[in-house]
Amino acid sequence: MAVTGTSAPGLALAAAWGLLRAAQAENPGRVILADVDGTDASHQILSAAVATGEPEFALRDGALYTPASCAPPTRAGTPRRPPPIRTAPR
């Protein structure tokens, strides 16, 4: 999982995560995607991270990161507004 703007998974890793996400969709609550950086601090909080119930997370230097489903900020931290919902006239 990319945690910062400069970290991105490789192509092979992205394919593996896609396969695991498909397994997650078919078996809800049984598959957890954990991206651990290998530091001692991250290994120490791994069981606590699993206990949160998050289906996908990353651990970096003992910090827990989860995916966010929001639009990235535009300039100066101003959140981006979603486009208006348009419906067809009846």
Distance of CA 74 to the CA centre of its chain: 20
Task: Please tell me whether the overall predicted TM-score, pTM, comes out greater than 0.85 for this model.
Answer: no
CB-CB contact of 66 with 59 (8 Å) = no
In this predicted structure, what is the pLDDT of residue 66? 87
DSSP secondary structure, 38-63, as one string: --HHHHHTHHHHHHTT-SEEEEETTE
Over the stretch 43-71, which tens digit does the pLDDT of each residue have?
Answer: 999 999 999 888 988 888 898 988 875 66
